[in-house]
Amino acid sequence: MTTAHGAIETPAFIPVGTQASVKAVSPRELRELEAQIILGNTYHLFVRPGIEVIRDFGGLHKFMNWNGPILTDSGGYQIFSLAKLRKITEEGAQFQNHVDGQPAFISPEIAMEIQAALGSDVAMVLDECAPYPCEYDYAARSAQMTARWAARCKRAVEANASPARTMSPANLNAAAGTVAATTVNQLLFGIVQGATFDDLRKSSAQAIADLDFDGYAIGGVSVGEPEEEMMRAVESAEPCLPKDRPRYAMGLGTPPQLLEMTARGMDMFDCVLPTRLARNGTAFTASGTINLKNAEFALDKKPIEEDCSCPSCREFARGYIRHLVKAEEILGLRLITLHNLHFYLALMNRARTEIERGTFDQFRRGFVMEYKVRDVDLAKL
Could you give the string, one character per residue 225-264, with x where binding to Zn ion holds by CB under 5 A and - elsewhere?
A: ----------------------------------------
What's the burial of 330, exposed, middle or buried (CB within 10 Å: 0-12/13-18/19+)?
Answer: exposed
The candidate with the shortest Cα–Cα distance to 127, out of 243, 5, 227, 211, is 211
Q: Which is nearer to Zn ion, 221 or 310 (CB)?
A: 310
The region of 37-45, 52-60, 266-274, 304-312 touching Zn ion under the rule CB under 5 A is 304-312
Residue 290 is a binding residue for Zn ion (CB under 5 A): no
**Residue of the chain from 129, 159, 310, 351 that contacts Zn ion (CB under 5 A):** 310
The 10 Å Cβ neighbour count of residue 281 is 22
CB of 309 to Zn ion, least distance (A): 7
In angstroms, the CA 328 to CA 287 distance is: 26
The set of catalytic residues is 73, 270
Give the H or E element holding residue 290.
Answer: strand 288-291
Q: Which is nearer to Zn ion, 154 or 339 (CB)?
A: 339
Q: Which is nearer to Zn ion, 23 or 61 (CB)?
A: 23
In angstroms, the CA 325 to CA 169 distance is: 55
In angstroms, the CA 10 to CA 355 distance is: 10
265 — phi, psi (to 5°)?
95, 10
- Kindly identify the residues of this chain, within the stretch 149-188, that bind Zn ion according to CB under 5 A: none
Using the 8-state DSSP alphabet, how is residue 194 labeled? -
How many residues in the shown chain lie near Zn ion by CB under 5 A? 5
CB of 236 to Zn ion, least distance (A): 37
**Residue of the chain from 200, 339, 340, 354 that contacts Zn ion (CB under 5 A):** 339
Q: Which is nearer to Zn ion, 26 or 94 (CB)?
A: 26
The candidate with the shortest Cα–Cα distance to 199, out of 144, 279, 248, is 144
Crossing angle for the helix pair 108-118 and 136-161, to the nearest 10 degrees: 50
Residue 318 is a binding residue for Zn ion (CB under 5 A): no
CB of 372 to Zn ion, least distance (A): 19
Residue 308 is a binding residue for Zn ion (CB under 5 A): yes
**Residue of the chain from 313, 324, 341, 347 that contacts Zn ion (CB under 5 A):** 313
> Contact positions toward Zn ion, by CB under 5 A?
304, 308, 310, 313, 339
